[in-house]
């Protein structure tokens, strides 16, 4: 299996622009998680889905952030409009399925976002 796939790996954009991050979970996994990691705040859970349904979005910082999971193999995290304080590394992770143990998450390589 290719593991969790994220794109792009790096994104540089100007303040006010829309940013879309993409994630393909491991096939057969039924839970998907979006995290943000910064030096100041560490690793933060933004939102997670079970069976494509958002379960907990309490970590989403504000309305500028939105996430969707239209099917079991694809999710997006959108920031509109972007601000410099959104600069961070965004990770996607997935869990579930017979191959993984109960609840352990597998992480993608992350997207490094820089907003100037």
Partner 1 sequence: AQSVTQPDIHITVSEGASLELRCNYSYGATPYLFWYVQSPGQGLQLLLKYFSGDTLVQGIKGFEAEFKRSQSSFNLRKPSVHWSDAAEYFCAVVGSSASKIIFGSGTRLSIRP
Binders of partner 1 among residues 46 to 85 (CB under 8 A) are 48, 50, 55-56
Whole-angstrom distance, CA of residue 102 vs CA of residue 88 = 29
Residue 90 found at the interface with partner 1 (CB under 8 A): no
Compute CA distances 40 → 1, 6, 12, 110, 115, whole Å: 34, 23, 20, 17, 16
Whole-angstrom distance, CA of residue 18 vs CA of residue 93 = 22
Residue 101 found at the interface with partner 1 (CB under 8 A): yes
Binding span for partner 1 by CB under 8 A among 12-20, 66-74, 76-84, 99-107? 99-107
Q: Which of 54, 57, 61, 107 binds partner 1 (CB under 8 A)?
A: 107
Binding span for partner 1 by CB under 8 A among 16-24, 64-72, 75-83, 101-109? 101-109
As measured in angstroms, the least distance from the Cβ of 81 to partner 1 is 27
Whole-angstrom distance, CA of residue 51 vs CA of residue 15 = 33
């Amino acid at each position: 299996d290719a593991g969790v796939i994220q794109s792009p790996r790096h994104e540089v954009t100007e303040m006010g622009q829309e940013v879309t991050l993409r994630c393909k979970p491991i096939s057969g996994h039924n839970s998907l998680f979006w995290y943000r990691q910064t030096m100041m705040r560490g690793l933060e859970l933004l939102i997670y889905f079970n069976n494509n349904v958002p379960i907990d979005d309490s970590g989403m910082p504000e309305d500028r952030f939105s996430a969707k999971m239209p099917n079991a193999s694809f999710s997006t995290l959108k920031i509109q409009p972007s601000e410099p304080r959104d600069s961070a590394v965004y990770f996607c992770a997935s869990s579930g399925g017979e191959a993984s143990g109960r609840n352990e998450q597998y992480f993608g390589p992350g997207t490094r976002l820089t907003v100037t």
